[in-house]
Structure 1
Amino acid sequence: MPSPLSASPAPGRPRSRLRPTLSLCALALASLLLATIATPALSAAPAAATAAATNSASAVQPDAGGPAWPLPEPGPRASAPPPPAPAPGGAAWPLPGTLSGTCPDPAATRRRGAASQGLLAVVAAAMAVLAGWMVVRARRPMYDMPSIPGPWKHGLPFIGNVLELFRPDFHRVLLAWHDQYGGILRVKFLWHEGLLVSDPNALAVIMGRGEGACDKASAIYSPINKMCTPHGHPNLLTAPADDAWRAVRKAVALSFAFGNIRKKFPLIRDRTGELVEWLRSLRPGACVDVDQAALRVTLDVIGLAAFGHDYACVRLRQVPPDHLLRVLPRAFTEIMRCIANPLREVAPGLFKNGPKGRKAFADFQRHMRALLAEMKARGPPPRGDADIGAQLYRVLEASAAEAEEASRRTGRRVAPTITEERVLSEIGILFVEGFETTGHTISWTLFNIATTPGVQDKVAAELQAAGLLVLPGSRGGAGAARALELEDLKRLPYLTACVKEAMRMFPVVSIMGRITEKPTRIGPYTVPPGTPVGTSLFAIQNTRHNWSHPEEYRPERWAGVHHETYVLDMRSKEFGTQEPAHPPAPAASPASAAAAKPAAAAAPAGPVEVAAASADAVAGPVGGAGGGGGAGGGGSAGGGGGRRSQDSARGSASRVGSAEADDDDEGVGGSWGGGRREGISYMPFSEGPRSCVGQSLAKLEVMTVLAALLAAFRVELAPEMGGRAGIRARESTHLTLQTAGLQGIRCRLTPRELLEEEE
């Protein structure tokens, strides 16, 4: 018996594409008819023009010894004086009979007629091909797509909802759609018809590994590939979960295992200390852009921790325009422009600042090639070196060795699976994922702490209890507080809650794209294969369907939630029930009901990660500094053996079993580990096998920088920012969520040792 998922749509199912397709077919037929009618005329026109030109030429051909121009006609026109005779050897006088006074060129006339005929034929053929393509698409089973609510019904003809992509507050547009239409809605961007999903239950399936899981929609990320390499090689973020992806993920996951990342804590603390000292050197009351300050630390940490390269951003007073700190934002802006306008990627010269954007790509690639050259110049890494550069070097060498062995065995050249260009793309994507994301998370957290009454005082009290706060009146600043240690981070639960709440309200990742590979059930709907599925973290974590008073910054909502947990369903804590009160989903169609399967149906497993290291090597992180050991989802990997701690009963409505991680899990905080989530309403680092591989480093860096800054300074939003409302009005979706304009988030940082004197 055929699978219910492959069943054809029920008879009489509405097809939303039929009416525009019929209109397009009629237009194509009209074009073909016009081409048929016009073809004889166009064919005859060159011949007629040629004949006329020949007759005219013969009529004015002079006799031997006669004049070089035609004789005047009798009648009134004969009174006109004849034109002067041409000088000997001079140019022939223009022949009459044309408006321009020149004789038509028969060959040119034939060419113009043929060109017109060919152009019309090409247009008609293109219309016919387009109509045929639309007919094929219209006949494709739509399953439940016509019954899914959403803004697609109000989109413009042919382009759908694409204009919303150009809005700087696109993230708020998506949130408004989810608030209006619910957790699963349908959109149309040009010829792409897809879904946007914020429903926690549907997200748990989409982001997982079993039946219904969706892999990355690689085509959406094409501009990122072009940024990383000239020919657009894929990488960990953009590639499908094939063998090359698994090999790189396995290698990089070991680099981000907390056992290795914790060795980087002194580096992060020391570079943050340099930033603190530089801020102290400013005049009292000076305002600085905390976003730029955080980005400087972030870029330094990535370069040093991953590749041993010091960009010295914190130490630079003036940053040259070709520095990576300046190149990255320009390249990110071009990525978003290409995503919003696919034609820009194909023909950048046709659009404003297109060549400048491509130059930004080239500048970024130059920096990445320099890192690759340094990595190769160092040669084979020593045993025990698990840094990212060392791991990528090993992957590159292993792939080359495998290709050489295969070539020797088969007698023909076998190309390596992972080339230098692929490694170059992997190097580049680490900066894409780890630069602005971490830096903006730090600045958004500082903004919320500074503008929410009472929050900064609670953070200061927690730091003081840990002996980390610089006390008022103490000269020398740092001498009044002990140095921050790694173990301190797990003793700062309120600061951890502040970070989580900031990541909920201001998730820096704009949107993530998945795609269905077969007929897939998403919530109550069954959708066809090839359907793009977008998940907006801003909408998921701010919609009123998933959160109570989501517009309020309340760190207290995380009380009782384990500090290592960064993926969970908060609906029970927010609403006091498993399901919040929101409009019920429409009833499933008969085809959808027939397609439903038990959750435990044993379907072939989707793409999975390969174990990167033993569980002992990647035991759970310390406190708020990390929650996944790097490669897994946000679920905690506390303790040895890769066992995930369960979500707190007060913090998660859907508790995950404490089963041991399955063989496919990386053992680094794998978020599924043999269990299955019932729902997800919070996942700032994504979830499942495609979750953020570097989240352990990001969490450690965010907590370290915030603890150091808040221990040394009292933070106030600068008056010119217009208060909390002013910043929120300037929210802008680029590659990451940030503020529009050049001001960033300016704050007044007052050294705490001066607070008593000011009072």
Structure 2
Amino acid sequence: MATNTTTGTGTTPPIPELTGLPLLGSLLDLKNDSLGTFLKARRDHGDVVRITAGPPGMRATVHCVFSAEGAQQVLAGEAANFRKDNAFYQEIRESFGNGLLTSQDADYLRQRRLVQPLFTRRSVDTYASAVADEVTRLTDGWHARGAETVDVVHEMTGLALRAVARILFGTDVDEAVGIVERCFPVLGAYVARRGYSPRKPPRSWPTPSNRRAAVAHEELYAVCDRIIAERRAAGTAGEGRDLLTLLVAAGEEDGSAFDPAELREQVLVFLLAGHETTATSLGFALHLLARHPEHQARAHEELDRVLAGRTPGAADLDALPYLTQVLKEAMRLFPAAPAIGRRAVAATEIGGHTIPAGADVIVSSWVTHRHPRYWEDPERFDPDRFTPEAEAARPRYAYFPFGGGPRACIGQHFSMLESVIALAMILQDHELEAIDTQVPLDSAITLQALGPARCRLKRRTA
């Protein structure tokens, strides 16, 4: 699509006066509460602002775009002008490889062509029984230990990781899960710290942070390489049809198949994006229902009426509209990717303001999902915002939990399938009551809960 660039006919976006330390700009605001900083910037200064951070000589400037129309322009309408060339994506590349999340141009188009057939709705629906098995495993564990309270965000993180690892690796799930649980938090924190730092030491320097990241990096690569080598040796004659087997076979007929290093990079991206995002949606959906018993009762009524106690499958998703609305509202309030970064290739105009060539740009679902122009009483939990009629009345990019445009998340149907099945199975058997009514948050690669989200469990009677 052609890019609608300009040489600067718009005005320069304002710079918010936040904490306003002259030597550091908004560095401390972003470090202490980036999500709150973005909200305040929009409220006080409008839909396009500049935020500066760092001391003189190392100061960085980011242009923040908060309107639905601006998000559509960056992610879709002028996507070719806004690339994944910023420092944050480079840090992800160096830690997790150049997979589908970070690749660009010919690399991305080839990867997307090879991977897309594995993520059609028909293909993804075949994983429903594996998801249900993992949910059963989780809830059986609660019952076996007599759990009366659970931290739903923590528990859903474990569930989502096991589910995506099982679908990727099949019988190798246990070893892979243990290493990912140990290594991903180390690398995630490392990427976030370096991605937002105005100056960082080279990765080769033997600092404590670099050494910890290097050990985690080596462990992750080693387990992926071993499993990939075994699967490539087995070929399509191996047992099972896990996603890795399909990735190994992709492109073999025309000679465009992934090599071992490329396979590893795809696997790591799927593990990263496929469990943290779904875990956030699931955990906060449960926590919100636990805080709002009237909505939980509506979900129970729908489940009892539609499923009547049986295990849900892929065919049930369309028959559970209210549960789907609950998930969408949870993703509005707690989007797993609350800020999406790009870098402008050429100067362009957004909302009457000039975005210069080379500028770092952030669109924030965290802010747009709370924009009063699109959402009445935006902090209120209300699943009825996502009836078909309500959705049709809003601008397309008032809501973009999976990104948008040509780089929209390829796994969004898998995430919704897993989330609806898991919510349905947990709520069929349990009532939840929130213990922690507020959960402190942070934004790293994805939205992170900094504190517990504990809920009391009560078994439902037939």
TM-score past 0.5 threshold: yes
The one of 535, 538, 553 aligned to 2:381: 553
Contact 2:285/2:330 (<8 A) preserved: yes
| 2:46 corresponding residue in structure 1 | 182
Q: For residues 390 and 484 of structure 1, what CA distance do their matches in structure 2 show?
A: 25
Within-5 A mapping of 1:210-609: 210=78, 214-228=82-96, 233-240=97-104, 242-283=105-146, 286-312=148-174, 323-341=179-197, 343-344=199-200, 346-347=202-203, 353-379=209-235, 387-395=243-251, 401=255, 419-468=259-308, 481-559=309-387, 561=388
Q: For residues 389 and 236 of structure 1, what CA distance do their matches in structure 2 show?
A: 18
Contact 1:248/1:392 (<8 A) preserved: no
Count how many residue pairs are aligned between Structure 1 and Structure 2.
Answer: 455
Shift of 1:441: 1.2
Shift of 1:154: 7.4
Q: For residues 36 and 51 of structure 2, what CA distance do their matches in structure 1 show?
A: 15
| 1:653 corresponding residue in structure 2 | 393
| 2:27 corresponding residue in structure 1 | 162
Q: CA RMSD in A?
A: 3.0
Q: For residues 237 and 702 of structure 1, what CA distance do their matches in structure 2 show?
A: 21
Q: For residues 161 and 242 of structure 2, what CA distance do their matches in structure 1 show?
A: 20
Identity of aligned residues (%): 24
Contact 2:88/2:191 (<8 A) preserved: no
| 2:60 corresponding residue in structure 1 | 192
Q: Write the letter of the residue equivalent to 2:51.
A: V
Q: Which protein shows a greater Rg?
A: 1
Q: Write the letter of the residue equivalent to 2:423.
A: L
3-state SS in 2 of match to 1:177: helix
Shift of 1:438: 0.8
| 1:579 corresponding residue in structure 2 | none
Contact 1:291/1:443 (<8 A) preserved: yes
Contact 1:253/1:693 (<8 A) preserved: yes
3-state SS in 2 of match to 1:735: coil
Contact 2:18/2:29 (<8 A) preserved: no
Contact 2:75/2:405 (<8 A) preserved: yes
- Structure richer in strand, relative to its length: 2
Taking structure 1 as the reference length, the TM-score comes to: 0.55
3-state SS in 2 of match to 1:684: coil
3-state SS in 2 of match to 1:207: helix
Within-5 A mapping of 1:70-81: none
3-state SS in 2 of match to 1:429: helix
Q: Write the letter of the residue equivalent to 2:181.
A: L
Q: Write the letter of the residue equivalent to 1:459.
A: A
Q: For residues 182 and 377 of structure 1, what CA distance do their matches in structure 2 show?
A: 57
Taking structure 2 as the reference length, the TM-score comes to: 0.89
Contact 1:344/1:354 (<8 A) preserved: no
Q: For residues 382 and 127 of structure 2, what CA distance do their matches in structure 1 show?
A: 31
| 1:748 corresponding residue in structure 2 | 456
| 2:415 corresponding residue in structure 1 | 698
Shift of 1:389: 4.2
Q: For residues 109 and 461 of structure 2, what CA distance do their matches in structure 1 show?
A: 51
Q: For residues 211 and 266 of structure 1, what CA distance do their matches in structure 2 show?
A: 37
Q: Write the letter of the residue equivalent to 1:305.
A: I
Q: For residues 261 and 4 of structure 1, what CA distance do their matches in structure 2 show?
A: 37
Q: Write the letter of the residue equivalent to 2:444.
A: H
Q: Write the letter of the residue equivalent to 1:540.
A: T
Q: For residues 208 and 22 of structure 2, what CA distance do their matches in structure 1 show?
A: 25
Structure 1 residues 447-490: Cα deviation after superposition (integer angstroms, max 9, x where no partner): 0000024111111111111243xxxxxxxxxxxx2232332222
Structure 1 residues 395-426: Cα deviation after superposition (integer angstroms, max 9, x where no partner): 4x579x57xxxxxxxxxxxxxx9653333222
- Structure richer in helix, relative to its length: 2
Q: For residues 196 and 249 of structure 2, what CA distance do their matches in structure 1 show?
A: 35
